[in-house]
Amino acid sequence: MRDEAGHALTSQSDAVRLRLYDQALNIARIGAWECELETERLTWTPGVYDIFGYPMGNPLRRASIVDLYVDESRRNMELARAEVIRSGRAVTLDAEIRTWRGERRWMRLSIDMVREAGRPVRIFGSKQDITSDRQAIESLRQQAETDPLTGLANRFVFQARYSEVVGDSLNHGFASALVLIDLDHFKELNDTFGHSAGDACLCEVAGRLQRAFHNAGLIGRLGGDEFAIILRAPTNPARIARVLQQTVVMLSQPLFWNGLRIEVGASIGAALVGRPHRRRITELFAEADIALYDAKTAGRNKVHLFGDEGHSRAA
């Protein structure tokens, strides 16, 4: 009697512990998985089905599940899997997937291995939905790296990414010029129509620059009414001058805001990057600043280039 009562009590305690364990896994959005290496047979707990949005009645075929990984994450996952099988050391990585219904999610994937008779027979681990964490991190990164009004890169990021852009081996490091753009008479616009109109103007200018220079290495708002671009092409100074003159014309188109016609203008100064790319961005900024000053003193809607020959050229 005592043994039976004791056994019943133990079973009840085990059931409670198992329920609490399952509840904790559900709250943490964690599931467990296993894959037999010889047959590639997959076994999932409900939490993994939830992460992938995969119907529990559907057959689990590894090839179909692998296809749900985003390309880069699929490559990283396969490399990690092969390394675990080779070395026997557990690995954890973050991977991006598309669920069975097409929703993008991030998960933290752990992989470990079981050997029998010295031979790897199966791998296993956990998968945890970390989508909300990744979204929060991305939001913080965006806030830190972008201008909150226009969504362009801010000054800090623009300067930090300069070396990355000019050294981009995939694009052969093609960076031809650092371009500074300053809106003409922006203070008067703010004083006349108010800061809401000024903000609308800045957003419109940012949009025009993004559309015109979608292939540029980088576009940023440095602060106030000053914008900056790292051009990849063209590389010829005369062609750069023509492109920037066309930019002045484009930016000079009036802006219509709350039924008002607002005139917009811009002065542009540029410094040629030159080759090889051994010049510091501080040096280029100094030259582009000189060119911008020359453009502004020459009048409204002007372009000046500061070339390697050491003087400004008007356009």
State residue 27's pLDDT score: 65
Strand 119-129 to 30-36 pairing = antiparallel
Q: CA 238 to CA 222: how far, in whole Å?
A: 26
Which fold does the domain 2-135 belong to in CATH?
A: Beta-Lactamase (3.30.450)
What are the residue boundaries of the structural domains of the chain, listed by start?
2-135, 146-314
Of 212, 225, 227, 208, the closest CA to residue 270 belongs to 227
Rounded to the nearest 10°, the torsion over CA 47, 49, 53, 55 is -140
Q: Comparing 46-50, 188-192, 239-243, 272-276, which segment has the lowest mean pLDDT?
A: 272-276
Q: CA 67 to CA 97: how far, in whole Å?
A: 9
* Domains 2-135 and 146-314 in one fold: no
Using the predicted structure, report yes or no on whether residue 212 has a pLDDT greater than 80. Answer: yes
Q: What is the mean pLDDT of residues 33-50?
A: 94
Using the predicted structure, report yes or no on whether residue 1 has a pLDDT greater than 50. Answer: no
56 burial via Cβ count (<10 Å: 0-12, 13-18, 19+): exposed
Residue numbers annotated as active site: 225
Q: Which residues, at least 6 apart from 97, have a Cβ–Cβ distance to it below 8 Å? A: 51, 52, 68, 69, 70, 73, 104, 105, 106, 107
State residue 19's pLDDT score: 63
Output 50 or 156, whichever has higher pLDDT.
50
pLDDT tens by residue, 126-135? 999 999 988 8
**Residue 155 pLDDT level (bands cut at 50, 70, 90):** confident
**Residue 28 pLDDT level (bands cut at 50, 70, 90):** low
Q: Comparing 31-45, 134-148, 188-202, which segment has the lowest mean pLDDT?
A: 134-148
Superfamily of domain 146-314: Reverse transcriptase/Diguanylate cyclase domain (3.30.70.270)
Residue count (the chain): 315
Q: Considering the entire predicted model, what is its pTM?
A: 0.58
Q: Does a cis peptide bond (omega within 30 degrees of 0) precede residue 148?
A: no
Using the predicted structure, report yes or no on whether residue 65 has a pLDDT greater than 90. Answer: yes
Q: CA 245 to CA 119: how far, in whole Å?
A: 69
pLDDT tens by residue, 256-272? 999 989 988 999 999 98
pLDDT tens by residue, 249-308? 999 999 999 998 998 899 999 998 876 555 677 888 899 999 999 999 988 889 999 954
- Phi, psi (deg, nearest 5) at residue 220: -145, 160
